[in-house]
Structure 1
Amino acid sequence: MAIHIRHADEGASEAYEINVTPFIDVMLVLLVIFMVTAPLTTVNVPVELPSSTQQPAPRPDEPVFLTVKASHDLALGEDDIAASDLSAALEKATKGNKDERIFLRADKSVDYGTLMDVMDRLRQAGYLKVALVTLQGQKAGDTP
């Protein structure tokens, strides 16, 4: 049997070890969090939306149609107008009623930026009620 007798000049020795257990615990918690949240962040979730049986809102007796042609020219009703004259033409067509709904139609070849520019002009003129007009009963890729 061996006995080690400690001398007075020997100090307590320090252990130079890193305790990795808390580090591993944190990493496992982060792994679980990422494993749970990763499937939830996908945008392309397949879902079948229900169809609506409601009829579209009735149009007013004299709707105001603003059309963006394929050439990016504007027409209010049947009359061609310049983009700079849009505010005055709408004021005349709606008799100053800013709450009247504007029906916006655009050729399908018109790019998104042009359509947003027209909608910004409508907002600057004070017309915030805008309805986008589409063909009913047809899918986006169908042609009449």
Structure 2
Amino acid sequence: MGVSVGAEGGSDAPMSDINTTPLVDVMLVMLIIFLITVPVAVKKIPMEVPRVAHQPTVTKAQNVMLSIRGGASGGCEVYWGNQLIDDAAQLQNLAVAKFKNESDKLRPADRQNPDKFPEVHIRADVNTPYKCIGGTVAVMGRSGFFRVGFISEPKGRTTS
């Protein structure tokens, strides 16, 4: 890269033009690199993810309301209504009895409609470990409840 100190016309001022050829070369190389690497980096697994929408909870008398929070020393506290459940076996026994009782009340024609069966509504503290929620959902699923809903607060609202 050189600097011209004078021109043939007699002007003694240095030339202030920038040699843009190396800049253009670097930009073209970077453009080619990005055109090659971006499609590889953006590969996705095609799937349909759920859209978040606020739907009011419809509470029926036969639904089960569970509250879950992390307990002391890493344990889990599960409440059936307001009653603390001691362990997973007690939760399963209560759930099996509730599901059997509610499904026996259904007419034979209603037993084909999944909307007629009782649901489980779970409220969990935001800091509850996943093992507590996942374990509860698994126990309720084994007990016959195939509809599980999670109760949450809309964005911007807080409970006291």
The TM-score range, normalised by the shorter chain, is 0.5 to 0.7
SS in structure 2 at match of 1:88: helix
Aligned-residue Cα RMSD (Å) equals 3.5
- In structure 2, how many angstroms separate the alpha carbons of the residues matched to 1:123 and 1:62? 16
- In structure 2, how many angstroms separate the alpha carbons of the residues matched to 1:66 and 1:86? 10
Q: 1:76 aligns with which of 69, 77, 80?
A: 80
Where relative contact order (Cα < 8 A, 6+ residues apart) is larger, the structure is: 2
TM-score normalised by length of structure 1? 0.55
Gaps of 5+ in 2: 1-32, 46-50, 104-113
User: If you compute each CA radius of gyration, which structure gives the higher value, 1 or 2?
Assistant: 1
Post-superposition Cα deviations, 1:70-127, rounded to whole Å, max 9, x if no partner, equal: 3111110111112211122123444243931100111111111221111111111121
**Paired AA for residue 95 in structure 2:** L
Misfit runs of 4+, over 6 Å = none
| Greater fraction helix | 2
Match of residue 67 from structure 1: 67
TM-score normalised by length of structure 2? 0.50
Paired residue total? 105
Gaps of 5+ in 1: 1-30, 44-49
Identity rate, percent = 16
Match of residue 26 from structure 1: none
- In structure 1, how many angstroms separate the alpha carbons of the residues matched to 2:128 and 2:69? 7
SS in structure 2 at match of 1:58: coil
